[in-house]
Amino acid sequence: MMEMQIVLDRVTMKYGPFKAVDDLSFKLDEGKIYGLIGRNGAGKTTLLSLLASFLEPSTGSITVKGEALFENPDLMQNVTFVYEKDYQEETEKVKTYLKAVEAYKPFYDAEYAMDLIEAFRIPLNKPVNKLSKGMLSALNVTIGLASRSPVTLFDEAYSGMDAPTREIFYQKVLEDHALHPRTIVLSTHLLSEMDYLFEEVVILHKGKLLLKEPIDVLLEKGASITGSAENTDLFVQDMTKLHTQKLGGTKSVTVLETLSDQQRLQARQSGLEIGPVSLQDLFTHLTKEGDQNEKN
């Protein structure tokens, strides 16, 4: 497999005056699992379409080893983009369809594809266009994983799957990535289900890059402080408050703050409990419209 670090340099994608993605500059290192998150309309699908060479940037560049990605057949064969397709015209059986896929995916593992077909219980002899929505999603991710492309992009790939099937998908992503490391980008709204998959998180907001950080670094930006209302208020008085809950004399405040060891010790000495903040909570507050922080 070739090295596939992807470099985006001031990438903008316009539709008329509207910028779907706006001045994006960052790198995707090879071998990592990225979570791509953003509210509806943030530009996630546009970004993935640019990375898959489905679109050419209006301005800026996307390169691998200094070569432009768009319409570069040598590079493009190393990228697989998994998204919700319209299969109405696909009348051949699943096994025939998979044979056709194998022909144009250089790293495709047919044996592994059959393992996935079994795990997802996809009927091989059923015409593709007769599969349920959930089965089509499972077929899509089977192709994405079995292709073992150096860069694999999943755009809300679990759409239509029920919870047990989604869990199989998540486990297969982790297992196969450990055996065959490659760059995987997972676009999702299901943060509470999927956050444990991510090594790094890319957050888009209104087409712009809000942040790109390792997930452990990101989660350290927040904390929940719980204890007596008086002691909690005193401890968080100069911090950016994201969320407050009160029950009787007990108060819990979620703050956007990287707590030092000294602050943690001080909290314990004040009888306060420090808890983690979920990626979902951080994301919600970081992308909140208007004044995103409580002042009191």
Confidence of residue 145 (pLDDT cuts 50, 70, 90): very high
Mean pLDDT over 147-167 rounds to 94
Confidence of residue 159 (pLDDT cuts 50, 70, 90): confident
Q: Report pLDDT for 1.
A: 57
- Sequence-distant (≥ 6) Cβ neighbours of residue 84 within 8 angstroms: 136, 137, 140, 155, 156, 159, 160
pLDDT digits (tens, 9 = 90+) for 83-107: 998 899 999 999 999 999 999 899 9
Cβ atoms of 168 and 134 within 8 Å: the answer is no
> Closest Cα partner for 161 from 173, 170, 153?
170
Q: Write the CA distances from 162 to 132, 165, 176, 186, integer angstroms.
A: 12, 5, 21, 18
pTM, full prediction: 0.90
CB neighbours of residue 218 within 10 Å: 22
Which pair of structure tokens corresponds to residue 251? 């108060």
User: DSSP per residue over 230-289, as a string?
Assistant: HHHHHHHTTSEEEEEEEETTEEEEEEE----HHHHHHHHHTT-EEE---HHHHHHHHT-S
CA distance 103 to 135: 22
Mean pLDDT over 15-33 rounds to 95
Chain mean pLDDT for the chain: 92
Mean pLDDT over 262-275 rounds to 95
Mean pLDDT over 29-47 rounds to 95
Residue type for position 283 = F
Confidence of residue 294 (pLDDT cuts 50, 70, 90): very low
Tell me if the domain spanning 220-286 has CATH number 3.30.70: yes
CA dihedral sign of residues 54, 23, 199, 157: negative
Q: Report pLDDT for 150.
A: 95
Mean pLDDT over 60-84 rounds to 92
Task: Map residue 215 onto helix, strand or coil.
Answer: helix
Mean pLDDT over 179-184 rounds to 96
Cβ atoms of 138 and 165 within 8 Å: the answer is yes
Which pair of structure tokens corresponds to residue 235? 């401890």
Say if residue 246's pLDDT is above 90. yes
Mean pLDDT over 146-174 rounds to 95
Q: Report pLDDT for 283.
A: 92
Cβ atoms of 149 and 133 within 8 Å: the answer is no
Confidence of residue 295 (pLDDT cuts 50, 70, 90): very low
Which pair of structure tokens corresponds to residue 108? 């495709």
Confidence of residue 81 (pLDDT cuts 50, 70, 90): very high
Q: Report pLDDT for 291.
A: 43
Specify the CATH number of the domain 6-215.
3.40.50.300
Say if residue 296's pLDDT is above 50. no
- How many CA atoms, within 13 angstroms, populate the side-chain half-sphere of residue 66? 0
Q: Report pLDDT for 90.
A: 92
pLDDT digits (tens, 9 = 90+) for 41-63: 999 999 999 999 999 999 999 99
Mean pLDDT over 160-188 rounds to 96
pLDDT digits (tens, 9 = 90+) for 106-118: 999 999 999 999 9
Say if residue 2's pLDDT is above 70. no
Spans of all domains in the chain: 6-215, 220-286
> Closest Cα partner for 1 from 26, 31, 40?
31
Q: What values do phi and psi take at 73, rounded to 5?
A: -60, -35
CA dihedral sign of residues 125, 131, 137, 143: positive
